[in-house]
Amino acid sequence: MIQQAIQHYHDLLVGGLAEETHQQLMEWQRERRLYFGAVPVCRVLRPHFYSAEAWEYLRTRTALVLSAFRKAHDAAMNDVKLREQLDLEPYEEEMLHVDKDAHIDTPWTSSRLDSFFRPETGYLKFVEYNAETPAGIGYGDTLIDVFEDLPVFHRFQQRYRVQSTRGMGHLLDCILRGYREWGGHNRPQIAVLDWATVPTRNEHYTSAEFFESHGYRSIVTEPEALEYRNGGLYQGDYRVDIIYKRVLCTELIHQLGMQHDVVRAVRDGAVFITNSFSAKLLAKKASLAVLSDEANAHLFSPRELEAIAAHIPWTRRVQDRKTTYEGQEIDLLAWVADNRHKLVIKPNDEYGGSGVIIGWEVDSDRWNTAIQHALTTPHVVQERVQSSQVDYPMMFDGRLDISKRYVDADPYAYYGERIEGCLTRLSGSALLNVTAGTGSVVPVFVIEDARA
């Protein structure tokens, strides 16, 4: 059904409608600040479609894998030896007590599991858990609004029923739930916190506007603008009760230090921050190694172990040890050196594809250099996963081009349990990057044939 729906959508882009759709899409993105830095968030003319069955499969399997991540987090909070597998920085270890002292059991109001999904076969592999500052929720909701207003989408709905996958309402509900469980009682004021120069700044304004529209005063600000005084955190006369944290913990601490006013206010329990510092435990790439490693199998239920085997690619910290691969014992470093054609090496604490070495795209000298570097700076090695490619329409040099794009599936989780909405990124290369020439973000709709 999905392939027929895609073909039908593409067939509608005739008689000048493709150019009209492109112009409207670009204009409405400018009006609604749908930009990643200077780049429009979406440059293709079609959303991503799932059948109801595929969408439910993605949601239920994500929730099951998420339960395993939750168990790993809870165990690591109380086991220093397990935390050693995650290669925490000293400040990260020190800040764990903040959640313990405040009795915060759920450090994530929102998180995101990034995957490659082939609905036609049920192939689903999660390659990263964005547990600290998952971006894209506001972009996705606004893109849904934009596409729902396009004439081509109205024509598409004459044949197909559509269901949107919005997330901002769930985000706000969970931020408020976390605030109440932390001990907040008043009607809170929110600060969306990040550096002033980040390319996602436009989405921060979208988030603040959504919070404001639901009756919660909100500002977009940066750490340097906040002051901890008289037992509270302020920007001028504006009291901050909730920090919706989009700044990365590592950048905050490395640039401003542990004595910065924001950090002191969080440590003293003067402000609620979400996601909290302990969310960094699973934001490490090594969190997938914790799930994947046979040494940790005792942490998980049989059902979770089945889901890990099915959906978490084989992942290990790069170190001199013996481990298993497909049930056979291997010498890890020697085996990694000999099998670059099916492996990637990733920094433990980077994002956006930074520092990733794709084994099948480099020669043996570059690969061996990467292994040696990974022994001195925390990295993981991960088995290659199957990427997915789907046809998308895009105006290119004044003409309609329909060609394949790599596509991922990154479902959002709220409060560590509820799966709603999905970031979907497109790229012309296997390492997905929305800033590249063919890169894009698209909204997700669940569809069914209205004629059925």
pTM above 0.75, yes or no: yes
The DSSP 8-state label assigned to residue 299 in this structure reads G
- Summarize pLDDT for 108-159 with one digit per residue, the tens: 999 999 999 999 999 999 999 999 999 999 999 999 999 999 999 999 999 9
Q: Measured at the alpha carbon of residue 361, what is the angle toward residues 356 and 363, in degrees to the nearest 5?
A: 105
| Confidence bin at 432 (pLDDT 50/70/90) | low
Choice among 56-60, 347-351, 387-391, 429-433 with the minimum mean pLDDT: 429-433
* Domain limits, the chain: 2-283+388-449, 314-383
Q: Is the pLDDT of residue 380 over 50?
A: yes
What is the mean pLDDT of the segment spanning 73-100? 93
pLDDT in tens, 258-282: 999 999 999 999 999 999 999 999 9
Res 435: pLDDT: 41
* 3-state SS record for 5-68: HHHHHHHHCCCCHHHHHHHHHHHHHHHCCCEECCEECCCCCCCEEEEHHHHHHHHHHHHHHHHH
What Å distances lie between residue 219 and 134, 172, 197, 223, 236, CA to CA?
19, 14, 16, 12, 12
Q: How far is CA 22 from CA 143, 148, 395, in A?
A: 14, 14, 7
CA distance 91 to 209: 33
Torsion of CA 182, 185, 190, 193, to 10 degrees: -20
E strand or H helix at 421: strand 418-427
Return the ∠ at Cα 193 (arms to 106 and 200), rounded to 5°: 105
354 against 194, higher pLDDT: 194
Residue 431: pLDDT band (50, 70, 90) is low
Go through the chain and tell me how many residues it has. 452
pLDDT for 78: 93
pLDDT at 450: 80
Helical (H) or strand (E) element with 286: helix 286-292
Please report the pLDDT score of residue 123 as a whole number: 97
* pLDDT > 80? residue 452: no
DSSP one-letter string for 161-229: EEEE---HHHHHHHHHHHHHHHT--S---EEEE--TT-TTHHHHHHHHHHHHHTT--EEEE-GGG-EEE
Longest dimension (CA), the chain: 65
CATH of 314-383, one of 3.10.20, 3.30.1490, 3.40.720, 1.20.1530: 3.30.1490
Sign of the dihedral through C-alpha 108, 113, 119, 124: negative
List pLDDT tens digits, range 282-321: 999 999 999 999 999 999 999 999 999 999 999 999 999 9
